[in-house]
A and B are shown apart, each in its own frame.
Chain A
Amino acid sequence: MNRGELTDRLPVATTRPMVGRCSRDRNGRLRRVLGAAVLVAGSAGLAGCISVNAPDKPIVIELNINIKQEVLYRLADDAGKTIDQNSGIF
């Protein structure tokens, strides 16, 4: 069984890199041109004005979202006692 699978995989293993190399060779020139174009576009982008403004509102991270249920379960007993002991403000 294993032998059959392995022999089946063999052509795949050998041909893929070859196909890859082959296509790269064929499109090598095109790729180089494309690469140059990307470089030019990139430098044009850099030359343009990129402005980063600080937000005028403070960044508020909602911490409550990150609090896990297990933490609440762990604290529940103590929090219950705390409420009992400070019943004037609860």
Chain B
Amino acid sequence: MRRAFVPNRLIPTRLLLAAALGLAVTAAPVLAQRDPAYAAARASGKVGEKMDGYLGIVGPATGELKAMVDDINIKRKAVYAQQAQAQHATVEEYALTAGCLAIARTVPGEKYQTPDGSWATRTSAPPQRDSRCP
């Protein structure tokens, strides 16, 4: 009965495979590499990693900078929310953990937020982090 409406034989497997691959390629790695503007803002210390797992503006906030930071933080929050649910944790807990790691992964010259809330420039020495950081 159903066979009449779905002519499976007419859809080549190769085409199906290509369609699946195409979907995977367009869906996943939007987030594969830093946007050049973001990379530049990080390197110049205009943005920094906050303790709470989100990006912060270090100096004066221009509209452009704020739009970029907001955009990244919205995407981060979506990722945190998804993963936190999978790990049976709260978004804040997950974000704080990611913040610890993101600060640890900053490279010399980049800005990060210290436990007292101020901005610091990463040197080759380990960053000052929250005592609970793994």
A interface list, Cβ under 8 A from B: 63-64, 67-69, 71-76, 78-80, 82-83, 85-90
Contact = CB atoms under 8 A, between A and B. Distances in A.
A78 B92 CA distance: 15
Chain B binding site: helix, strand, loop or mixed by DSSP?
helix
Interface residues of B, number: 33
26 contacts: A63-B90, A64-B96, A67-B92, A67-B96, A68-B132, A69-B134, A72-B93, A72-B96, A72-B97, A75-B94, A75-B97, A76-B97, A79-B83, A79-B94, A79-B97, A79-B98, A79-B100, A79-B101, A80-B101, A87-B31, A88-B31, A88-B34, A89-B34, A89-B76, A89-B79, A90-B98
B132 A83 contact: no
